[in-house]
């Protein structure tokens, strides 16, 4: 567990992007604002795409003489896959459409 709660946001920013996108999309849906809805859905798609691209990895670092794992290192390593990249691209396009709709309409 991190001592600073903001370190979770800086290390795994895509979770914050999902939360912000859901909040923005919900507010835009309630207000009937299509541009902000596109922007919020774009945030959610990019966040989910990065969540898919960054799996949790556990690697044993110490094995005793009996073959038992005594220490593990766990982290999040970016390993892009086609589904995650597709979600990122669609999310960026949706966000761009949302920004254009907000700016022009």
Domain boundaries, the chain: 5-104
Mean pLDDT by 10 residues, the chain (105 residues): 61 91 96 94 97 89 81 86 96 96 91
Question: So what's the pLDDT on residue 73?
Answer: 84
- DSSP class per residue in the chain: --SSHHHHHHHSHHHHHHHHHHHHHHHHHHHT-HHHHHHHHHHHHHHHHHHHHS-EEEEEEEE-TTS-EEEEEEEE-----HHHHHHHHHHHHHHHHHHHHHHH-
The reported pTM is 0.81
């Amino acid at each position: 567990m991190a001592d600073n709660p903001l370190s979770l946001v800086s290390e795994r920013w895509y979770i914050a992007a999902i939360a912000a996108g859901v909040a923005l999309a919900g507010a835009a849906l309630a207000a009937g604002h299509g541009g902000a809805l596109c922007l919020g859905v774009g945030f959610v798609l990019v966040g989910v795409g990065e969540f898919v691209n960054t799996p949790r990895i556990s690697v044993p670092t110490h094995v005793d003489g009996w073959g038992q794992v005594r220490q593990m290192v766990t982290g999040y390593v970016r390993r892009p896959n086609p589904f995650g990249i597709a979600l990122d691209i669609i999310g960026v396009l949706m966000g761009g459409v949302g920004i254009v709709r907000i700016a022009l309409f």
